Amino acid sequence: GAGVSQSPRYKVAKRGQDVALRCDPISGHVSLFWYQQALGQGPEFLTYFQNEAQLDKSGLPSDRFFAERPEGSVSTLKIQRTQQEDSAVYLCASSPQGTRQPQHFGDGTRLSIL
Amino acid sequence: LAKTTQPISMDSYEGQEVNITCSHNNIATNDYITWYQQFPSQGPRFIIQGYKTKVTNEVASLFIPADRKSSTLSLPRVSLSDTAVYYCLVGDTGRRALTFGSGTRLQVQP
């Protein structure tokens, strides 16, 4: 079946530009997570949605980062006024409702800020 | 969230069994132990999850002692395609964000 889909796979932007990264979760999955992965490191949590509600955004590094999931399905991670330190792979994961449900990851968007 | 400690890297040869041990001394009563595998340019992929004793699926086994302060992922007869980074995590994967750590880089040689 279809997995988590992220687009674009690669994004290059100039410093100061705004970017938007899209995540299409597995159909019917209630929970959606965004992670940031720096080169050679494990993914780090950014934010979590349950349906359309953003229940945890404690991992967002600054107020330049904003995420939404208006209809409880597709989610967008937006980064305003990008900086070089924002260069990373951004991963999206989704899971069904309930405990102990494994998170299913997309292959990420590699963001490079010049 | 419970912190995990695992070896930074391991080397093996094709056909061998590989065991990767993870320490999680402050695991909570409700925490489960989950292992993910990640290849370059791909997202992490779920391998196996368990709470206690032993769990086995088509790709791996997970051994958890009674005190649950550690766990061992066992990969039988590895192949070159098992070269990847393996992450051990504890918590409730369905309701909480995952804390990955740096993982174990497994290199399988011919």
Q: Please indicate if any CB of chain B lies within 8 Å of the CB of A85.
A: no
CA B14 to chain A, closest CA, distance in angstroms equals 25
Contact A100 B93 (CB under 8 A): yes
pLDDT number for residue A1: 54
Confidence class of residue A102 from pLDDT cuts 50, 70 and 90?
Answer: confident
Kindly give, in sequence order, each residue whose CB lies less than 8 Å from that of residue B103, ignoring residues fewer than 6 positions away. Answer: A42, B6, B38, B85, B86, B87, B88
CA distance B72 to B88: 9
pLDDT number for residue B3: 82
Contact B97 A42 (CB under 8 A): no
Q: Please indicate if any CB of chain B lies within 8 Å of the CB of A42.
A: yes
Plot region of A86 (φ>0 → left; ψ -120 to 50 → alpha; else → beta): alpha
pLDDT number for residue A101: 81
Angle CA A93–A94–A99, to nearest 5: 120
CA A8 to chain B, closest CA, distance in angstroms equals 13
Residues B14-50 pLDDT 10s: 999 999 999 999 898 888 999 999 999 999 999 999 9
Contact A43 B44 (CB under 8 A): yes
Q: For B44, which of A44, A100, A105 is closest by C-beta distance?
A: A105
Question: CB pairs below 8 Å between A and B: how many?
Answer: 65
Q: Residue B53 CB: number of other CB atoms within 10 A?
A: 11
With beta carbons under 8 A apart, name residues in chain B contacting A106: 43
Whether residue A93 is predicted with pLDDT greater than 80 in this model: the reply is yes
Is the backbone peptide bond immediately before A8 cis, with ω within 30 degrees of 0? yes
Instruction: Please state which of the ranges A31-35, A52-56, B95-99 shows the lowest mean pLDDT.
Output: B95-99
Q: Please indicate if any CB of chain B lies within 8 Å of the CB of A41.
A: yes
For B27, phi then psi, to 5°, come to -65, 140
Q: Please indicate if any CB of chain B lies within 8 Å of the CB of A1.
A: no
